[in-house]
Amino acid sequence: MARGKFITFEGIDGAGKTTHLAWFRERLEAHIAASGRSVVMTREPGGTALGESLRELLLHQTMDLETEALLMFAARREHLAQVIEPALAHGDWVLSDRFSDATFAYQGGGRGLPRDKLEALERWVQGGFQPDLTLLFDVSPDTASERRSSAREPDRFESESDAFFTRTRAEYLRRAEEAPYRFAIIDSTQSIPQIQKRLEELITTL
Ligand code: TYD
């Protein structure tokens, strides 16, 4: 069977990606049901037992910025080796809630880690590997902060300032400009039906 495709979902906290990811998965499963392929859902940081342990630390434990970036990429290396690569080789489609663009956006844009360090880690961990498609749910930090759930205690990232998310969003948009062939920017202020229409078009194209 031909190699599967790798699709990533990105955006600042509160952009609505989780809602759309669930819908996208259902629609994609319906489209490929007859092909004998499966859809594998995963997330970063996380996706493996080791990655989920690192996620717990990354979301709740204070640490040096470089440690944070290194742990994000360490979790990613494990995720690629244990989950993403084998699934794609098997012909399955992999949907990931965040991937490397998040490290550029959050640790680079948000926290200010120099880009050349992140580019070196990206080359080391991924070689030339990149998603086939990245959906960037784009929204202003104002709207995102209104949408962020207050149901539970915010983690280390969710509790960041609007200024942090302004820089994070700008870096996401810069990454999209740098690689327009793999990015689809979704205006996340649109209604849910409007966004679903766009997602359905993207699935058909794929
Ligand atoms: P998120 O994907 O928003 O999950 P949930 O919806 O369960 O809160 O949480 C992951 C957080 O990790 C998010 O705030 C962004 C951050 N993050 C980084 O800072 N760098 C990264 O490389 C990745 C993958 C995530």
Query: Which phi and psi (to 5°) does residue 134 adopt?
Result: -125, 120
Residues 101 and 134 sit within 8 Å (Cβ to Cβ): yes
Q: Give me the pLDDT at residue 1, please.
A: 82
Residues 6+ apart with CB under 8 A from 6: 84, 88, 93, 94, 96, 131, 132, 133
Comparing CA positions, the residue from 88, 84, 19 lying closest to residue 46 is: 84
Nearest to 37 by CA among 92, 81, 87, 89: 92
10-residue stretch averages of pLDDT, the chain, 206 residues long: 95 94 96 91 98 98 98 98 98 98 98 98 97 98 87 89 97 98 97 97 93
Site to probe by mutation for ligand 1, drawn from 61, 106, 156 as the one with most ligand atoms within 8 Å of Cβ, is: 106
Q: What is the distance in A from the centroid of ligand 1 to the CA of 98?
A: 7
Give me the pLDDT at residue 74, please. 98
- Spatial neighbors of 71 by CB under 8 A, at least 6 apart, are 45, 54, 57, 58, 63
Ligand 1 geometric centre to CA of 32 (Å): 28
Compute, in angstroms, the gap from residue 88 CA to the centroid of ligand 1: 23
List, chain by chain if needed, residues with CB within 6 Å of any ligand 1 atom: 13, 18, 44-45, 72, 97-98, 102-103, 106-107, 157-158
**What's residue 149's pLDDT?**
72
CA of 161 to the centre of ligand 1 (A): 15
pTM of the entire structure?
0.97
d(CA 44, CA 51): 8
Distance from residue 70's CA to the centre of ligand 1 (Å): 15
Answer yes or no: are the C-beta atoms of 110 and 171 closer than 8 Å: yes
Q: Where are the domains of the chain?
A: 6-205
Which pLDDT score is estimated for 100?
98
Which superfamily does 6-205 belong to? P-loop containing nucleotide triphosphate hydrolases (3.40.50.300)
- The ligand 1 atom nearest the CA atom of 100: 22
- Mapping DSSP to helix (H, G, I), strand (E, B) and coil, where does residue 16 land? coil
What is the residue-wise DSSP string for 96-156?
A: EE--HHHHIIIIIIIT---HHHHHHHHHHHHTT---SEEEEEE--HHHHHHHS--SS---T
Query: Which atom of ligand 1 is the closest one to the Cα of 73?
Result: 22
User: Given ligand 1 and candidates 61, 99, 157, which is best to mutate, with the most ligand atoms within 8 Å of its CB?
Assistant: 157
